[in-house]
A and B are shown apart, each in its own frame.
Chain A
Amino acid sequence: MSNEGVEIEFTGPFRKLSGERKIFLPLEHEVTLNEFIEILSRKFGDEFRKRVLDEAGKLDADRSIIIINGRIVDSTKETSYVVKPGDTVAFALSLAGGG
């Protein structure tokens, strides 16, 4: 994979919002996860931000999860995450089970 950007996969509502299953986003340098979400929100609209963050601007693990290089972002420690060129990132609904 190129190191000049980030591969992003979308499932569920994120696929509908972006209109894509997968995109390649050019990225020259490391950014924080919050900055990364901001970039995507500018690209796909405010609804994207609302799907990922709650009203307080925190990751909403009841609704969505973010996976960076196969590792799930811990919603309680989101500020410590960064996204850098070469990463793969996925946005998905939080997992559901148990009727």
Chain B
Amino acid sequence: MKGYAGKYLLVNLTSRKIVSKMLDEGMAVNFIGGYGFGARTLYDYVPAGVEPFSPDNVLAFWTGPLAGTIAPVSSKYAVFARSPLTGFFGFGISSGGFAFELKCAQWDGIIFTGRSDSPTYLFIDDENVELRDASHLWGRTTWETEQMIREELGDDTVRVAAIGPAGERLVRIGNITNDRNRQVGRTGMGAVMGSKNLKAVAVRGTRDVEVADPDGLMKFSMELNERLQGPKTEKYRVYGTPANILIHNKLGCLPSYNFQRGTFEYAEEVSGERMLKTHVRKIIACTNCAIACDHVNEVREGPYAGTVASMDYESLNMLGPCCGVRDLNAITKAVEICDTLGVDTISAGVIIAWAMECYEKGILSSEEVDGLDLRFGNSEAMLEALKKLCLREGKLGNLLAEGVKRASEIVGRGSEKFAIHCKGLEWGAYSMRSLKTSTLGFAVSIRGADYLRSGSYQVDVRGEVDRLKLDYSRGKIVCDGENLYAIIDSLIICKFARGIFSSVDELAKLYTLTTGIEMTGKQLLLAGERIHNLAKCFNIRHGASRKDDYPPPRAFEEEMPDDVVRGAKITREEYDEALNGYYDARGWTREGIPTAEKLLQLGLEKEAEEIAKYQVSHELKLTGAK
């Protein structure tokens, strides 16, 4: 079994015992890597009742079989835990050089259990692995931590994945940063890391990763690299995802003012086109990537001069138009604050936008927002609120640090209607009411409101369906997208490269050339379905049902005011029909529970047995039986 290192680390932070475990070939074939390994780990290690901040929650880092090889766009890793934000399947994926280094140290992944009694960090130096004191790093920003560890180890090539002060303080949107600008962003994996007193993971890997067919993989990788430098990825290379701002604005699907609108009157001022001229200092690439998409901004004048931050569409929109903010300098500063203190930019923007709407509507008093003039568009107030959130400072900071769902439940007074999330995860930068297939994909996603689990916005924005309508057929579109993306996230390759593969058979070819394991596209997609079902079983175990697969009230109750999509909203009937279509396409019950037949078909026998209990329990609830 090539490609894989064939072993992973099991680190008990309570006992400080570190064990090397062999990777089973069956695990590799059935669950591929990345997302698949994470689904297997969470299901096997986190039974019902384990709270996200409990030492019994796990924190798992997994690479895919391609990481560390010549295969392009593959230096990616994912981190998994029961999410403190959603209570469900939590994970995030990051890029940079960390995954490449970990695999070159000959490890496929790391599973952390327990909790250290003092701040610690794990240092992996090929086969030598040790937990080191991190007391001097506690309280440091992510960037400082990376730098200090490198200095301490006397090696500035060591790769570091670290949390900032936010993760230490259990801010529920805490993230993990590596290589300064790359993040495991969503669902609060940094907060779980903080709960374990684990400040960082540092890796130095010096070995080669063996592949099954070196010549074949080299030839195919060169061909893929040529495609990666071709027209299909130009949008990422040259303009970066911020180019989406003007397009979304034109379509009325640019979330602004906490998703009240789908256009922003100052869109030109925060556009990717403008940013490219005035703010982009350099464009950099992750290890082994021929695209180079990371547009790094620098503020060149004004009160935030010297600020440097990597800028993508989601960060730009959520901390910009979603908060009514039009000042690119302030938005860049906001991203820098998120990256250094360690929180997810998407969630942070949505949470602050919610607070702004509540403040403007008189739901939150001046005292409750610590005296800030928290009106939409006030960039200084936005930055102050953001710092408070990251550090849990004051009443406002402590409230916002809980995430928008919990914060709105704490405040009450109707504020729940303005909390834009699904399952507790804040919605991304795609309008709910004017991209309806996208909305279905967001809402049924395993980890909460999420565009990265199915890419279902694509059929909307390519005009392949009527984006202002929903129907039964959209369910299968989302289902198919999820199965494909489960494979992409298990191999793990960058989704920016998805357009260069002519079919899933080419992904299978890449897998076989690397691992030596024969695999067809059809088999890969079946693995994707298996992985997705396993992750769903985890959510069912932790209480998920149909009610968790709906977008927030704004999607149903308010019509869009923007000319281009005026009047657009989702009806309950059309959503229910589309959701039924999704469950049917999945072979699940109409309550969103995988059937035993489906799970057995996918080879998930023990899961079928457990989930059947939830099925019975749910039916009893529905009939009112005791």
Contact = CB atoms under 8 A, between A and B. Distances in A.
Interface stretch (A23-31, A34-42, A61-69): A61-69
A92 to B, nearest CB: 4
B461 A15 contact: no
B247 A99 contact: no
A70 B251 contact: yes
Interface of B: 95, 231-232, 234-236, 238-239, 241, 243-244, 246-248, 250-252, 268, 271-273, 293, 312-314, 451-452, 455, 457-458, 461-464, 467, 494-496, 498-499, 564-565
B250 A74 contact: no
A56 interface: no
B273 A11 contact: yes
Contact of A12 (B235, B452, B462, B565): B235
A41 B459 CA distance: 27
A62 B248 contact: no
B293 A99 contact: yes
Nearest to A71: B463
Given A15-B273, A93-B235, A99 B312 contact: yes
Contacts of A95: 244, 247-248, 457-458, 461
A75 B293 CA distance: 26
B170 to A, nearest CB: 26
Contacts of A96: 235-236, 241, 243-244, 313, 496
A57 interface: no
Given A61-B462, A92-B250, A97 B494 contact: no
Most chain B CB inside 10 Å of its own CB: which residue of A75, A92, A97: A97
A65 B463 CA distance: 9
Contacts of B246: 11-12, 92
B457 A11 contact: no
Most chain A CB inside 10 Å of its own CB: which residue of B235, B451, B452, B467: B235
Top 5 closest pairs, chain A to chain B, by CB: A72-B463, A98-B495, A74-B463, A70-B564, A11-B246
Contact of B462 (A9, A65, A98): A65
A5 to B, nearest CB: 19
Nearest to A9: B250
Contacts of A75: 462-464
Contacts of A2: none
Contacts of B457: 95, 97
26 contacts: A11-B246, A11-B271, A11-B273, A12-B239, A12-B272, A13-B238, A62-B231, A62-B499, A63-B231, A67-B250, A70-B250, A72-B251, A74-B463, A76-B464, A93-B235, A94-B462, A95-B244, A95-B457, A95-B458, A96-B241, A97-B241, A97-B313, A97-B452, A97-B495, A99-B293, A99-B312
A62 B232 contact: yes
Interface string A51-93: 0000000001111010100111111100000000000001011
A51 to B, nearest CB: 9
Contacts of B95: 99
A99 B494 contact: yes
Contacts of A98: 451-452, 455, 495-496, 498
Contacts of B268: 21
A98 B461 CA distance: 14
A62 B501 CA distance: 12
Contacts of A74: 462-464
